[in-house]
Amino acid sequence: MSIDFGKTLSVRQTPIPGLVVVDLPVHGDARGWFKENWQRQKMTSTGVKLPDFGPVQNNISFNDAVGTTRGIHAEPWDKYVSVATGRIFGAWVDLREGESFGQVFTIELDPSMAIFVPRGVGNSYQTLEPDTAYTYLVNDHWSPDATYTFLNLADETVAIDWPIPLDLVEISAKDVNHPRLSDVSPMPPKKTLVTGADGQLGRALREEFGDQPWIDYASRADLDLSSGGLETARRWREYGTIINAAAYTKVDMAESGPGREEAWAANVSAVAALARVATTYGITLVHVSSDYVFDGSKNGAYSPSDAPSPLGVYGQTKAAGDAIVSTVPRHYIVRTSWVIGDGQNFVRTMASLAARGVDPKVVDDQYGRLTFTRDIAGSVRHLIETRAPYGLYNVTGDGPSTSWYDIARTVFALTGHNPDRVTGVSTEIYFASASAAVAPRPRNSTLDLAASRRAGIDCPDVQAGLKRYLNSAATT
């Protein structure tokens, strides 16, 4: 057996998205040879950029004879394939849903090479030397309940040019009877779980992503994140993303005893449970943050790098949740402010007061920007689908920072009413007669959008969004 010694660690792309060839340094002398078959730190570094796929099981298939042929099997996990002894002809076919379905890649593999095989790509090989040991790492434990996709080794469409004709080699009965490409059911993408699916943001996410078989929309009745047992609530290896739209948002009630307990349970304990699951199973966790993590004293817009300084209980719980999510290796924190969606909110209230002839008093010393849930949902989708760098992104409407009083006047004007019917008052005067505890509000809730724009996130103008929202609300 001839091994290519002296290679440097590197990867080569293939026509199949995500399938890469890894060249491995092999060191040999008269005694034999040595290689680092999988070395996480080196292989996931900036220069090599292999996925940090978190292998949990190592399997070896030993093959006595030349021509042993196995496959084509697409499994619901990632796979890292190499050869310990001998040599193989490897063939891979993309059996995932999408434009690359049916794409083929073949190569001869000796111990100086490896292949990273993404979930859903069909894997097969034929041995070219006796006593060939085919070894592979996978990032899930084998399960009889796992869903596989198969393709016939002799499929005429992909037309793999096997070195040894298939009628001259030993093939298992199962492999002989696998379907042709035209009869293959493509493997769907990993599942996405949306929590808080019955809330304002949850409904916007449902509209954004639609009813797909690979998306689970869960309300609290379906999945109570704070009740315990989350670890076994789903087969988490089947999930690629969790979008956490569940939260306790009653900022004033959070200042009371029962409300405080509920806020910590939903915004911290439940988030910690999701973070543990996401970290354990390599899931991308998307979490929604709030302007309430700041005290509002900054002169200027808050950037993603500004340290939290919450004033009240709600803000404290959101800041704690953010800190927890930031420890998840694959995470997006979407920080937003003044959220408006499908349901009762400030804009709907002002439009209703205007129509009913009520002249409201509105706070004029708190400044920020409205954010519409459909724009948050679109931003979440953008981050996931473009595989933006993990981290924290500010997502609000764009344009000048304005007060609630300014927004109320705009709503009155856009709905055909006199904006002078709105009176501006300070926060202290507005809440002076409150009979229950009132949460302190940040006076400045403006979030800096520069980093989000660089990531390609669309932050539409607030005024245009407000017109769109009011027109939509008027027709529903």
From the CB of residue 92, how many other CB atoms can be counted at a distance below 10 Å? 28
Tokens 């076994």 -> residue: 232
Query: What residues have CB less than 8 Å from 283, skipping those under 6 apart?
Result: 236, 239, 240, 241, 242, 277, 330
Indicate the residue type of 235. R
The domain of 389 spans: 191-474
Q: State yes or no: is 136 an active-site residue.
A: yes
Q: How far apart are CA 90 and CA 440, in angstroms?
A: 64
For residues 398 and 454, membership in a common domain is answered with: yes
- C-alpha angle 218/220/224, rounded to 5°? 100
Helix, strand, or coil (residue 59): strand
Compute the average pLDDT of residues 158-184.
94
| 258 and 153 together in one domain | no
Residue 228's pLDDT band (boundaries 50, 70, 90)? Answer: confident
Indicate the SS3 state at residue 173: helix
pLDDT band (50, 70, 90) for residue 364: very high
Question: How much of the chain, in percent, has pLDDT values that exceed 90?
Answer: 82
End-of-domain residue from the set 183, 217, 248: 183
Does residue 105 share a domain with residue 25? yes
Q: Does residue 51 carry a pLDDT above 90? A: no
Task: Note the pLDDT tens digit of each residue in 177-207.
Answer: 999 999 999 998 899 999 999 999 999 999 9
In a domain, 62, yes or no: yes
4 located within any domain: no
Band of the pLDDT at 136, cuts 50, 70, 90? very high
Predicted confidence at residue 474, as pLDDT, reads 62
Out of 73, 287, 331, 417, the active site residue is 73
Distance of alpha carbon 127 from its chain centroid, rounded?
A: 38
Q: Is residue 1 part of a domain?
A: no
- Does residue 132 lie in a domain region? yes
454-475 burial, b at 16+ Cβ within 10 Å, e below that, comes to eeebebbebbebbeebbeeeee
Angle at 411 between CA 409 and CA 415, to 5 degrees: 120
Question: By the 8 A CB rule, do 259 and 278 touch?
Answer: no
Judge if 178 and 195 occupy the same domain: no
| Rounded Cα distance, 450 and 395, in Å | 10
Domain count, the chain: 2
**Interhelix angle 462-474/346-356, nearest 10 degrees:** 60
Q: Note whether residue 169 is domain-resident.
A: yes
CA distance 150 to 95: 8
Residues in Cβ contact with 396 at an 8 Å cutoff, skipping those fewer than 6 apart: 336, 337, 338, 368, 369, 370, 371, 447, 449, 459, 462
Q: Are residues 116 and 154 in the same domain?
A: yes
Q: Domain containing 272 — which CATH number?
A: 3.40.50.720
The CATH number that applies at residue 57 is 2.60.120.10
The Cα–Cα gap between 54 and 279 comes to 10
**Amino acid present at 278:** A
- pLDDT at 6 > cutoff 80: no
* Number of CB atoms found within 10 A of residue 424's CB: 17
Please tell me the predicted confidence (pLDDT) of residue 453.
Answer: 95
* pLDDT tens sequence across 423-476: 999 999 999 987 778 999 999 999 999 999 999 999 999 999 999 999 886 645
Cβ neighbours, 10 Å, residue 255: 18
| 87 and 200 housed in the same domain | no
> Tokens at residue 313, please?
């209980």
Last residue of a domain, one of 183, 214, 232: 183
pLDDT surpassing 60 at residue 417: yes
Confidence (pLDDT) at 475: 47
Residues 24, 47 within the same domain: yes
> Is there a single domain that holds both residue 168 and residue 213?
no
Same domain, 249 and 365: yes
55 and 71, same domain (yes or no): yes
List the catalytic residue out of 80, 125, 134, 136: 136
- Do 177 and 250 have their domain in common? no
Token match 């229950």: residue?
436
pLDDT tens-place string over residues 116-135? 999 999 999 999 999 999 99
The reply to whether omega before 72 is within 30° of 0 (cis) is yes
In a domain, 2, yes or no: no
Residue 5 domain-assigned? no
- Residue-level pLDDT at 473: 67
Calculate mean pLDDT across residues 319-327: 98
**Boundary of a domain, candidates 149, 183, 217:** 183
Residue 175: inside a domain: yes
Instruction: Mark whether 254 and 393 lie in a shared domain.
Output: yes
CB 92 within 8 A of CB 144: no
Query: Nearest Cα to 5, choosing from 23, 25, 30?
Result: 25
pLDDT of residue 177: 94
Kindly report, residue by residue over 65-101, the tens digit of the pLDDT: 999 999 999 999 999 999 999 999 999 999 999 999 9
What's residue 476's pLDDT? Answer: 52
Q: What angle do CA 171, 174, 176 make, to 5 degrees?
A: 55
